[in-house]
Structure 1
Amino acid sequence: MSVESESFAYGSSMHGGRPTFALTRRLGVDAGLTLYELVPEDLADGRQKRFRKANSNHRLTRVAVTDAVPYVQEDPNGVFDFSEVGTPSGRTPSDWQWQDWCALKIATLSNSRQQAVQRLVRDVLDDSGINVDFVTRGEGSAILSEGAGIRLTTAFLAMKRLQKYEKLTTVADSITRMSIEECYYWHAKCRSPTNPNGVKALRTLLTAHL
């Protein structure tokens, strides 16, 4: 996987460079790796309306940012302290307001799916300059650039219903090798309210030979 360009080094320019994805590892009853997208509340509302308009069965699971990234501390002004969270190298996201933001759950991978995606997660975090220990040892969270989050979203959606380990590792390895442009293309296909078969098409493309 090639290192992403500086334009993707942190967050989306649409949101002033904020981080736009988070990855959290939990143990116990909710064990697994959960990927979230961080978005303004009004953007989440707009997406849900588009799903309803398209008669999609998909529903957005919305949680507070502090629930998605439970290791941040919030001060009275709504500024978060991310010092206990893995962040891309060279910048700590300590200067943004988050009162009108939420986290949208993308998927949780556990058991064999979590094992199969580990190498991709390590590659993504290494390329972003994030210490992988935040999401590979015990419980912890990391926040991700838009490009890194798009790549993991594509993988998590494609893998979440697969059973065979060979198919799981094939999907993860294939997405590792994708260009960032390909990841954006498949991300749009997989999450479009008007294209309910996007994830199925991606799975077929990557695993039909198995």
Structure 2
Amino acid sequence: MSHGIAEGNSFAFTTGAYGNRPTFVLTRNRVDDQHEISLYELAPHDIATARRDRFERTGKSVTISVCELDEAIVGDSSPSELPGSDDTAYDWDDWCAIRIATLRSGAFSEVSYLIEATFRDLDLDPETVCTGDPASVSLPEAAGVRLSIAFRAMKPMRRRDRLREVAKGIDQMSLGECYYWHAKARSPSSPSGTKALRVLLADHI
């Protein structure tokens, strides 16, 4: 694992793959009287389509869900206009959103701990997406990567104690470790990467 962490650490001292452009969106919604929170990764259409095609060719049960930006964002704002963005008017014409996961109920409650910790580092108010009306927030790459491994790991879990262990464990990870697990979760050749993370943090398969 050390090799992957070493590679991940290189990201800790640079901007993201697309500069300072926000590359994740976190959206809180209310569906059928139940609150839910969804994490999306933003990518150019060709990149997102190529990633989806790679997964489909492997014949694995994991699928990539791609949608338009307006389906991932509450309201009519672009990612540049949401809280969390640096107010740069980036061009989003050829971009789309890849759904990472949607959490509800106990998983929503427990991931809020990690959201609060992540938002503190960004000087963002976590109540924007953890309480209140439906809303969306833009996130830079590093924060999105940390939350993405949590959302993937927590999605199939139900026990609150194990969900809490996952959230706390990811909160304590270095940025390099987060990039390592993020890469494993995104790779069609490593379908058990997220399962391994659950076992590591919460003894959950």
TM-score, shorter chain, exceeding 0.5: yes
1:86 aligns with 2:83: yes
Q: Specify the SS of the correspondent of 1:51.
A: helix
Provide, for residues 70-123 of structure 1, a one-character-per-residue CA deviation record: whole Å limited to 9, x for no partner: 23436xxxxx661xx3215xx224x11111100000001110000011110011
SS at match of 2:158: coil
Q: Which residue of structure 2 aligns with residue 77 of structure 1?
A: none
How far 1:54 moved relative to its partner? 2.0
SS in 2 for 1:162: coil
Counterpart of 1:107 (choices 90, 101, 105) is 101
Structure 1: give runs of 5+ residues left out of the alignment.
75-79
Superposition RMSD in Å: 2.0
Q: Which of 43, 47, 53 is equivalent to 2:47?
A: 43
Is the 2:12–2:176 Cα contact (8 Å) retained in structure 1? Answer: no
Number of the residue aligned with 1:189: 184
Contact persistence 1:86–1:131 (CA under 8 A): no
Give, in whole Å, the separation in 2 of the partners of 1:116 and 1:143: 21
Distance 2:136 2:153 in 1: 22
Provide the C-alpha distance between the structure 1 equivalents of 2:77 and 2:156, rounded to a whole number of angstroms. Answer: 34
Unaligned runs of 5+ in 2: 1-10
1:200 is aligned to 195
**What per-residue deviation string (whole Å, max 9, x for no partner) do you get for residues 161-197 of structure 1?**
1111100000000000000000000111112111111
Q: Which residue does 2:6 correspond to in 1?
A: none
Once the two structures are TM-superposed, the CA of residue 52 in structure 1 deviates from its matched residue by 2.3
Q: How big is the shift at 1:6?
A: 6.6
Residue 16 of structure 1 corresponds to 19
Query: How many residues of Structure 1 are paired with residues of Structure 2 in the alignment?
Result: 192
Of 53, 57, 63, the match for 2:61: 57
What's the TM-score once normalised by structure 1's chain length?
A: 0.85
Aligned to 2:164: 169
TM-score normalised by L of structure 2: 0.86
Identity %: 37
Matched residues in 2 for 1:207 and 1:134: separation? 28
Looking at secondary structure, tell me which structure has more helix per residue.
2
> Structure 1's 156 and 73: CA in aligned 2 closer, same or farther, altered over 3 A?
closer
Letter in 2 for 1:195: S
Residue in 1 that maps onto 2:139 = 144
8 Å Cα contact 1:174-1:206 kept in structure 2 = yes
Q: Distance in 1 between matches of 2:195 and 2:96?
A: 28
